[in-house]
Amino acid sequence: MVVKLYKTDLSPPVRAVMMACDIFKVPVEMIEVNLLEKEHLKPEYIKKNPLHSVPVLEDGDLIIHDSHAILMYLADTYGTDDSWYPKETKARTLVNQKLFFDACTLFPRLLSVVFSVVKEGQKCISQKLLDNIDEAYNFMELFLTQTTYIAGDQITIADLSAISVVTSLAIALPIDAEKYPRLLEWLNGLVNQSYCQKFNEPGVKVLRELILSNLQSYDLVHCIIVGQCVCLRCVETVVLCRSIFLFVNVTMVLKLYKTDLSPPVRAAMMGCDVFNVPVEMVEVNLMNQDHLTPEYLKKNPLHSVPVLEDGDLIIHDSHAILIYLADKYGKDDSWYPKDINARAAVNQKLFFDACYLFPRVRNVTYAIILEGQKTIAQKLLNDIDEAYGFLEQFLSKSKYIAGEQITIADLSAISDVTSMAFLLPIDAKKYPKLQAWLTELEQKPFSQKFNKPGVKALEDIVNKLLSQP
C-alpha cells in the first residue's frame, strides 16, 4: 500500500520526512500543498489536519500531522534494522529528546525568521533573532562535542530533523567555522549524502530565494544588522527539591530537577506519580538562576527544567521523560501504547503540546515574569484561543487527546491547558469537549497533587505582577 505525503519543499519538517522516505524506501505518493496559494487552509486539508501544517502522512486511516512523529513511525514500520531509531530504551530516549529539541528549540528559531521576513515584511533579520540562531548553533556544538551525531555515535532520525533546519538557519546566519567546528563537520558530512542532496538541498534553495526575494522587494542587497553589513546573497552552501522520596522496593532513585511553576515539570511529576517512579525531586529556582550554574549546564546545556537523571542517562525534555517513564515503569502499555499506529497518535500529540500548547503559555508568562509586561497582548490571547479550538477538534473525535484511553499526551496537555485557563478562561459553550476533558482531568489525584499547586503559584505570581504599577 502506498502512503501519501502532503508536502512542500520549502518546509524543513517536510524535507526531513522526504529524506526518511528515501532512506527507508517507503512506497510514497507525494502530494504538493502550496502554502503561498493557501492550499493548507482548504476545508479538505483542515479535515485531515486541523493544525493546517505540512507535512501530513496518510497511511490508510492513520493520519500523522507532525514530522517527528512521522519519522518515528516510518523508522519503526519501514526501517530494515533499528539503527536509525534504536529499540533499546535508553538509546531511543536520547533520540526522542533530540527530536523534541528540534521541535522546541531549532525549528521555532527558523520560523521566527521566516515570519519576520516573509509575513511581516521586515527588511532586516533582527539581532535578537540572529542571537537566537547563534545560541542554537552553540547548543548543537555542545551536543556534537560529546557524540559524532546529535543523539549518539550513530546517525539517527534526529539528525534528519536537525539537518533540514540547520541548513535553513544557515541562510540567515552562516555557521562560523572557528566557533562551531564540530557543527560544521557534522553538517558537511550530511549534506554530501544522496538523500540530503536529493530531498533537502532543493528546498533550502527555494527557501533561500523566498527569503532573499522578500528582502530584495525592498531593493535590499545588503542587510544592515547593528552596524554590520551582512550580505545575504553571498550565503551559498552552508558554511553556510530535596523534598519528596517515594519509597519503593528498588535501590536506585532517579532525580527530577524541577520547579512547580513550570508546566513541563508538572507533566513530568504527574508521570512519576502515575508510574510510581522512585524519584528524588531536586528544586531548581529559576529566579535565583540555579539553572544557569555550571553544574546544571553540564547536565543540560539548554538550561531548562525538567531534567530527569537516571544513572548516567540525563533527559532534558518533559515529553521524552514521559515516554521513557511510561516505557520503563508503565505496568501495561495503556498510557503509551506499543501498537505502532496508536503510538504514532500519542507521539503526534506530544509534539502538538511541544510546538503549540507550551509555547503559547510561555509567550504570555515569560512576557509578564521576565519582561515586566503589564498587559497580555491580544495576539497572544488569540493564539491561546486558537489552541483551545485545536483541542476542541481533537476532543470531538476522541474522549482523550490521542484516543479513547488516557495517555501521557493528556498529562503534557493538561499541565499547559490549566496554565492557560487562568490567562484566558475557557468558554464552555464554544469549547464543551475541552471543558469536559479539563474538568475530568483536574479531578484526578495526580493532577490535584502535582499540577494544581504549581498552577496556583503561577497564577498568583502573574496576577501580582499584572496588578503592580
Ligand X SMILES: N[C@@H](CCC(=O)N[C@@H](CS)C(=O)NCC(=O)O)C(=O)O
Q: Interface with ligand X by CB under 6 A: which residues?
A: 100, 104, 262-264, 286, 291, 303-306, 317-319, 354
Using the minimum distance from each CB to ligand X, give the nearer residue, 67 or 318: 318
Closest to 124 measured CA to CA, from 36, 226, 208: 226
Q: Three-state SS for 414?
A: helix
Using the minimum distance from each CB to ligand X, give the nearer residue, 100 or 143: 100
The minimum distance between CB 279 and ligand X, in angstroms, equals: 16
Closest to 212 measured CA to CA, from 98, 117, 331: 117
The minimum distance between CB 265 and ligand X, in angstroms, equals: 7
Q: Rounded distance, CA 316 to CA 336, Å?
A: 19
Q: Which helix (H) or strand (E) holds 161?
A: helix 157-172
Q: Three-state SS for 85?
A: coil
Using the minimum distance from each CB to ligand X, give the nearer residue, 71 or 315: 315
The minimum distance between CB 369 and ligand X, in angstroms, equals: 10
Using the minimum distance from each CB to ligand X, give the nearer residue, 193 or 447: 447
Residue 152 burial (CB count, 10 A): 18
CA dihedral 150, 156, 161, 166 (to 10 degrees): 40
Report the length, in residues, of the chain.
Answer: 469
Using the minimum distance from each CB to ligand X, give the nearer residue, 50 or 263: 263
DSSP 40: G
Q: Rounded distance, CA 372 to CA 378, Å?
A: 16
Which residues are registered as beta bridge partners of 444?
Answer: none
Using the minimum distance from each CB to ligand X, give the nearer residue, 12 or 264: 264
The minimum distance between CB 84 and ligand X, in angstroms, equals: 23
Q: Rounded distance, CA 77 to CA 84, Å?
A: 12
Positive or negative: CA dihedral 331, 351, 297, 290: negative
The minimum distance between CB 219 and ligand X, in angstroms, equals: 39
The minimum distance between CB 270 and ligand X, in angstroms, equals: 13
Query: What does DSSP say about strands 254-258 and 279-283: parallel, antiparallel, or unpaired?
Result: parallel
Using the minimum distance from each CB to ligand X, give the nearer residue, 79 or 301: 301
The minimum distance between CB 440 and ligand X, in angstroms, equals: 23
Using the minimum distance from each CB to ligand X, give the nearer residue, 264 or 330: 264
Closest to 226 measured CA to CA, from 129, 110, 139: 129
Q: Which cell is 84 given?
A: 536509525
The minimum distance between CB 112 and ligand X, in angstroms, equals: 16
Cis peptide before 359 (omega within 30 of 0): no
Q: Three-state SS for 272?
A: helix
The minimum distance between CB 137 and ligand X, in angstroms, equals: 17
Using the minimum distance from each CB to ligand X, give the nearer residue, 287 or 436: 287
